[in-house]
Structure 1
Amino acid sequence: MVDSTTDERDGQQRFGLKQVEMNIGSVVGSAMGPRAAKMHRRMLQRMRMDTSNVPENHAFNTLARGLFQAWLRFGDPNAVVVFAVLQGSMHRFDERAVEYELQRISDWQVEVVRLSSKEAYSKLQLDPKDFTLRLTADGRAVAVVYSRSGPLPEWTEEEWEARKRIERSTAIKTSTVFSALSSSKRVQQLLAQPGMIERFMPEPKDRQMVAAIRQTFVGLWGLENDDEQTQQLIKHAIANPSLYVLKPQNEGGGHNYFDDELKQKLLQFTREERAAHTLMQRIWPVTAKNFMVRPMEEAVLDDTIVELGMFGYLLGDKRDRSIVRNKQHGYLVRTKPASSAEGGIGAGGVYDSLNLF
């Protein structure tokens, strides 16, 4: 997101890209973003306007290629790829686009099996001999499990048991419970602490890159301690709630607290409840007038803000901690009303594209 701040030294407005969050595994919109870019490019062509500033977007191809590389790495040409999906999901067309692209680039070698978390309990079994995950129906091995939903607090014991089978199996998983936790808000807050990036990029040649990464961070604070520093931070947030966002550990967008609600939560929380949240410096993004188009509604001209996300995949081998492939290609633009605190398509946003200048 592009943050807009006023420099206290000279009163000039400064702009910079700031990281809101990082998501691993269940990332939606990889198919819708490219379609928005294609539509906007066609509209510009019809108006005889330059289209060269609308960058190509192949996000769903990137995800599909990552899944294909994982399937190849598993080494069994008869193995299937399981899409673990949310039953009745509003994102099923996005999921299908990744599925069809995976089949296309594999020349139809890869068979995809879609299972909800409830279906997984009865339709997936763990081989006790070698921990291969197999389809109950015909015994075929599962090479890759691509999770598009969960874990969720409302899961039943059977759904958790199915997830445990997947985690214990030899199937390549995106994502594992461990990698999903690595993109949580709590871990994001820890990575923003001084010296943490340097743990992973310790070489002198990486210093410039480390500094560039740090430029994208905003203030992030854990609230689990009860020391003087934490108490002073909480007091400042209560007195100035518009400067902060209070975020629970929930994933998937929403659930955040702003302004007076943030103040009330900090006043009411027990220490245990407070520890389950992260306090984040609020980003003040650049606004622009734009039309927002939704199904069966009139187009609305409104003040809008934009979030930009970059897609990529990383395939690693846990046995020797090696990185097999690490690729980035494709992007997602979500535009929402400037008056909306929450982001996401389900919270009033729309898919968009870039027009660079």
Structure 2
Amino acid sequence: MTPFKKVLLFCHRWLGLISGLVVFIVSITGCIFCFQDEIQDAMYDYRHVEVQNKPYLKPSDLINIVAQKHPKASSDYIIYYGADRPAGVMANLGKEGLKYVYMNPYTGQVTHTDSPQTNFFIIVEYIHLYLLLPPAIGKWIVGVSVIIFMVIMVTGLILWWPKRKTDRKRSFTIKWGGRWRRVNYDLHNVLGFYATAIAMILAISGLAIAFEPVSRAIYNMANVGNGIKYEDEVTEPKSDSLKTSGIAKQPVVDIAFAHARQQSPNAEMFLIHNDPAVSGAIGVGAYPKSLHYAKATGLEFDKYNGRVLKSYIYDKKSPGLKLTEMNYDIHVGQIGGLTTKIIAFLASLICASLPITGFIIWLGKRKKNRSKTGKARVAVHHKTHRRAVQSV
């Protein structure tokens, strides 16, 4: 082995030992989260409603229904998930935390109330993002571990790549009939090779979700040469509380939702940001496909008179903004439907297995080296003893 590869092997081995536990936790939780929508759809009836030939209730109606049950709550987010799905309101109860209230969007009947603190998949998501640590700490531990894992994947690929073409066929397959240590070695190397490209995409998209500088870097790379600046395209407008002339005669949240539906008549899902504590405008996102967050059209409204302050029409967005808004769908594998979800699931499962198979390889080599050292000591002892006898 060349000195360069010895350095790579040292880095690969010890970086793996340092980050292995976090990589396993992040990968296995990501694996579980991939199909969370499908699993919850199968488990819970409230996630579907019967389609009715009548319009949705207005957002203000949903807010009033929540207020009857939780008078002190502020309805920060309202979501219409689709024609055959419920509407949801995220109610902020202050010190009591958050509640997700699900309703039939046609009748207003409350079908389910959920708390994020007890929802299994939200807990899995928080483990994936923060290891259940305070977000400011957990985010960095996960982020650094993911970056280390990316380095490990690259070094592993360089170390494993076969020199001769005749060795490639053997190197790209798992020898299932071999001894268990050989199978474990192949599982680590061969599966690691096949998962590398997808694992890199999942890692980068995850870092972009967690860290603004990474998302900004992706945005800038996709917009190279077109002169579009992030601040000019993405900066959200703010309502001016001093200019309250022409106050709307109906709730602005209703005006915003009606305008968004008119602007995007084919959208299946609408997300309304209605946080009264924020000085900015009321925002509405229109999404072509339910539970998918790519290809959205966004609108910002003055929260006093309902005037449109800014629009983010999908077809007019820059390539950078389109790409960064795809990060979530890419990260969970739903960007290309069921096929890409399965690919992301398998890649995450392989990534979870790599620290385990790698640790077994390291442990086996360590025992082997100890055995060789012990045999060498015995041989030296016998040789010394034999010389002592001969001298006598």
TM-score class normalised by the smaller sequence: under 0.3
Higher helix share: 2
TM-score, normalising length from structure 1? 0.22
